[in-house]
Amino acid sequence: MSFVITIGRENGSGGRYISEELSKKLNIKLYDKELAKKVSEDNNINIDLLEEVDEKQKKSFWYTMAMASMAMTDSVNSLTELPTNEQFFLKTAKAIEELYETESCVIIGRCANSILKNKKNVLSIFVYSSDEEFKVQRKVRYAGLNEKEAVKIIRKMDKERASYYNYYTDGKWGAKEEYDLCIDTSKIGVDNAVELIIKLASLKGLI
């Protein structure tokens, strides 16, 4: 039985590290930039152009149209009249659906939790920190930024992610009802968060 763990995260909260550890411990693939690469290879799309618009586009009908075409079949390919950016997003949504059908994996961001909403064998997690200083110090330590730069990047990235999610879905980024579990890493730590997610996956019968 295959399963998918989706990870939404605040910048600096340790979401990427947690995703990488889940991938290693569960011996499943992690898709983040890898998802963009898969979409580009499958559809002959320039990877640089895809990454340029990825998770930063503020206006698009891709998600509405993707959800209206739940099967994500060849009907997506007929939408050639859409602007290139919208086609990228439609194909990304299609790729997420295909991953769900074919393999166990961890997917970071990309509204994956909403795209796979109500599907079986999906565990949706949101990683955040109620203490901004926790996130700042992680950015200082692991990204080599000073505190001022870290605060600026964290706030900018979180604003973009919230804008992206709130526009493309009918939910709210970070809202508890959007996920199976929301984890405050400033309170339990990133390594404990990994073990907690694995435990929940086991309780749900995914592993």
Q: Which residue has the higher pLDDT, 64 or 200?
A: 200
Structure tokens at 25: 């411990």
**122-128 and 181-184 beta bridge pairing:** parallel
List the single range of 48-52, 141-145, 160-164, 202-206 with lowest mean pLDDT.
Answer: 48-52
Residue 186 has pLDDT above 70, yes or no: yes
Predicted model pTM: 0.81
Q: How far is CA 3 from CA 34, 45, 76, 119, in A?
A: 18, 28, 24, 10
Q: How far apart are CA 40 and CA 47, in angstroms?
A: 6
- Identify the pLDDT of residue 143: 94
Structure tokens at 49: 């152009």
Q: How far apart are CA 178 and CA 122, in angstroms?
A: 12
- Domains of the chain and CATH, by start: 4-203 (3.40.50.300)
Residue 85 has pLDDT above 90, yes or no: no
Structure tokens at 198: 């694995």
For 143-194, give the DSSP string.
H---HHHHHHHHHHHHHHHHHHHHHHSSS-TT-GGGSSEEEEHHHH-HHHHH
Structure tokens at 39: 């979409």
- Identify the pLDDT of residue 4: 98
> At 13, phi and psi to the nearest 5?
-85, -10
Q: Which residue has the higher pLDDT, 170 or 27?
A: 27
Which residues partner with 126 through β-bridges? 8, 182
- Identify the pLDDT of residue 62: 42
> At 30, phi and psi to the nearest 5?
-110, 130
In tens, the pLDDT along 115-173 reads: 999 899 999 999 999 999 999 999 999 999 999 999 999 999 999 999 888 877 889 99
Residue pair 158/16 in contact (Cβ under 8 Å)? The answer is: no
Mean per-residue pLDDT of the chain: 84
